Structure 1
Amino acid sequence: MSVETAVEATPAPAVTSENPVLRVPPAAPADAAAHFAASLAFHTDVSDVAAALATAATTGADLGFVLVDTRSTEAWEQGHVPGAVHLPTAQIPQLADAFLDRAVPVVVHCWGPGCNGATRAAYALASRGYQVKEMLGGIEYWIREGFGYETAEGAEQRAADPLTAPAGADDCGC
């Protein structure tokens, strides 16, 4: 079968509207459910990580995962999530086995949405047999949502950004 035939055999979705959102129609519900379920298997967010850390700290329960900050040492010292493990992306091949247990899921993060360091770290870890999720938003959204962090000097916290974290709310309601 030629490439031209293969392309012709898979028609493009019909244009259903001049509305730019609906030019390509939404996926069938079953396809959408499978896609979003898969996305949740790969990603978590700062609010869910913060809630899990708070519950573990309050109840003494096992966290069930290890949080890994994949940024540079300089970035780590500027601020990091309390309880996180520092494992820079470039050092994962040499150091992962010394810091992590393959039986414990790993949640990785880097600076924020504009950085793919956590994605590269997740790939490196998954390629080595670790169960891994990426924390969307990274340390940027952790701090923007008002969660505490540690620096080389000690504990820090900033007020939540009202555009990313509702004032007075323990969770965003998502």
Structure 2
Amino acid sequence: MKTKPKFSLVLQTEAADPKKAYQHFMGKLEFETDVADLLIDLKKGCEQFTIIDVRDPKSYEECHIPGAHSLPTNRINTETTPFLDKQKTLITYCWGPACNGATKAAAKFAELGFRVKELIGGLEYWRKENGEVEGSLRKEAPLYWKM
């Protein structure tokens, strides 16, 4: 016979007030987008954003989201960004959820005055959700970064 637990690990910290929770989750959406939303917008022909692959040039050459521009995180500065339209939102992506390159890139772009969102899951989840890819190796390219 199962005994009922005396306490809950989930509820050890009380859930937030609904108004506070709403503000928190809406705040997250200001900074992130997901693969499904990007796929749908691209299929609809939405041109209100620019996709930026922030991985190294070789990885970009092998496999990237169609139409994405290559601009590695460590090369983002005022000299490398004049081609970008500040009227469009930038969507940054890196390898996957274990990679913070897109987060670092988003911070740099924001500091330079760009509106920006990070693609949750990066290229890993883009590929897992059957997003099209371009490049010399396409779907045969490594799924994860290697040293």
Q: TM-score, normalization: structure 2?
A: 0.86
Matches of 1:157 and 1:121 in 2, distance apart?
24
Displacement after TM superposition at 1:146 (Å): 1.1
**RCO greater where, 1 or 2, for CA within 8 Å and sep 6 or more?**
2
Is 1:101–2:85 an aligned residue pair?
A: yes
Q: CA deviation at 1:157?
A: 5.3
- Structure 1 segments unaligned to the other structure (5+ residues): 1-16, 57-61, 159-174
Matched, 1:127 2:116: no
> How well do the aligned residues superpose, as a CA RMSD in angstroms?
1.5
Structure label with greater radius of gyration: 1
Quick check: 1:147–1:157 contact (8 Å CA) kept in 2?
Answer: no
Counterpart of 2:3 in structure 1 is none
Alignment match, 1:64: 48
**4+ residue segments displaced more than 3 Å:** none
Aligned partner (choices 8, 13, 18) of residue 29 of structure 1: 18
Counterpart in the other structure of 1:137: 121
User: Do 2:63 and 2:139's aligned partners in 1 also have CA atoms closer than 8 Å?
Assistant: no
| Amino acid paired to 2:67 | G
Partners in 1 of 2:71 and 2:139 — Cα distance?
23
How many Å separate the matches in 1 of 2:136 and 2:76?
23
Deviation at 1:81, TM superposition (A): 0.3
What's the % identity of the aligned pairs? 39
The residue type equivalent to 1:22 in the other structure is L
CA contact (8 A) 1:146 1:157 kept: no
- Does 1:147 pair with 2:136? no
Gaps of at least 5 residues in structure 2 are 1-5, 141-147
Contact 2:54 2:94 in 1 (8 A): yes
